[in-house]
Amino acid sequence: MALVNHAKKEINAKIVYYGPAGCGKKTVLNYIYSRIKPSLRGDFKSVPAGADNLLHFDFSPFETPLPNGYRLRLHLYALTGKVTNPATWKMTLKGTDGIIILINPSDEHAAETRESVALLRDYLSMYGLGLHETPAVLQLNNFAPEVQPDTAAKIAAELDLAMLTSCSSNAANGEGILEALTVLSRQLLDRTKMEIESSEADAHTASSPRGDSVEERDQADISAGSRYNPPQVTVLSQEVVSDGSTIRIPLEITQGGIPRRVVVTVNVAVE
């Protein structure tokens, strides 16, 4: 989840632009940076990451606070070029709150796109995450005219990403780049708002008068009609993916009325 400082009313969210070499990650980040008022953005940094190159900058998309008084700051990351060390992607994705999967939709890039998305799933699974429960957008970035909706839907289905919002962008003129980021930002705000409301409710409960002893506390709970509700675990069988000897099983875990998703990856060894 986004890092929320309730005392300062600050929300910091990490967004990673992920994709294979040549998909336009550097072009996209440069365009976004150029469209932000200097007073709202930090420095654009290019940091060596082993043999690879990490781009990063942060900015606030709003000059005024959000309706609840919180201020949002987005931290954008991307690795450029052909990443030689998979561990660099793993570290870049650590703690991410949202992902924009950037691909070139042309047919000649189809094979490397499929490989890139498969690797992304593996990287996320190491953190107990999956694309079904992580805020993400599929951005089809090209230097040609806009990709047609039916083509975008077909590509998303082939990548098993039909559950994601698809956006089309043109790297040559910047069309659609900010729109894709806006879609993901709204997803992050919706999730963060729910988490803030939940944490504030927990804080209110913790500050309510309680008995000093275990017996008094239990009696207060009974009087208030509260009880412990164990988490409910549901297997999303319609979303189970089998890829050779690897099976990905999406689970939805609900507790306190808040659903969360995790993906269990099972490697089946055939002897």
More confident residue, 209 or 129: 129
pLDDT value of residue 142 = 84
Q: Give the residue-averaged pLDDT of 66-90.
A: 87
pLDDT value of residue 23 = 92
> Is 94 a member of any domain?
yes
As a whole number of angstroms, the distance between CA 191 and CA 133 comes to: 11
* Domain final residue pick, 192, 224, 254: 192
Does one domain contain both 116 and 247?
no
> How many CB atoms are closer than 10 A to CB 195?
15
CATH classification at residue 78? 3.40.50.300
Does one domain contain both 42 and 170?
yes
> Is 37 a member of any domain?
yes
> pLDDT tens across 10-28, in order?
889 999 999 998 899 999 9
The pTM assigned to this predicted structure is 0.72
Residue bearing tokens 């003129």:
173
Does one domain contain both 163 and 241?
no
> Is 211 a member of any domain?
no
Does one domain contain both 245 and 117?
no
Percent of the chain residues past pLDDT 90, beyond the cut: 44
As a whole number of angstroms, the distance between CA 196 and CA 209 comes to: 22
Does one domain contain both 27 and 105?
yes
Q: Give the residue-averaged pLDDT of 119-124.
A: 95
> Is 214 a member of any domain?
no
> Is 22 a member of any domain?
yes
> How many CB atoms are closer than 10 A to CB 11?
26
Does one domain contain both 141 and 256?
no
> Is 218 a member of any domain?
no
Confidence tier at 163 by pLDDT (50, 70, 90): very high
Does one domain contain both 127 and 28?
yes
The angle at the Cα of 19, spanning 77 to 59, to the nearest 5 degrees, equals 20
As a whole number of angstroms, the distance between CA 17 and CA 256 comes to: 32
Does one domain contain both 139 and 58?
yes
Does one domain contain both 7 and 140?
yes
> Is 157 a member of any domain?
yes
Q: Exposed, middle or buried, 55 (CB in 10 Å: 0-12/13-18/19+)?
A: buried
Q: Is the pLDDT of residue 202 over 90?
A: no
pLDDT value of residue 95 = 92
Q: What is the DSSP string of 224-246?
A: TT----PPEEEE-GGG-EEETTE
The angle at the Cα of 21, spanning 113 to 141, to the nearest 5 degrees, equals 65
> Is 261 a member of any domain?
yes
* Domain final residue pick, 168, 192, 216: 192
Q: What range defines the domain where residue 246 resides?
A: 232-267
Does one domain contain both 236 and 162?
no
* Domain final residue pick, 167, 192, 217: 192
pLDDT value of residue 49 = 81
Does one domain contain both 104 and 18?
yes
Does one domain contain both 90 and 144?
yes
> pLDDT tens across 206-264, in order?
544 444 443 443 444 434 433 334 556 666 665 666 666 567 676 666 655 556 666 66
More confident residue, 65 or 82: 82
* Average per-residue pLDDT for the chain: 80
pLDDT value of residue 10 = 85
| Domains in the chain, number | 2
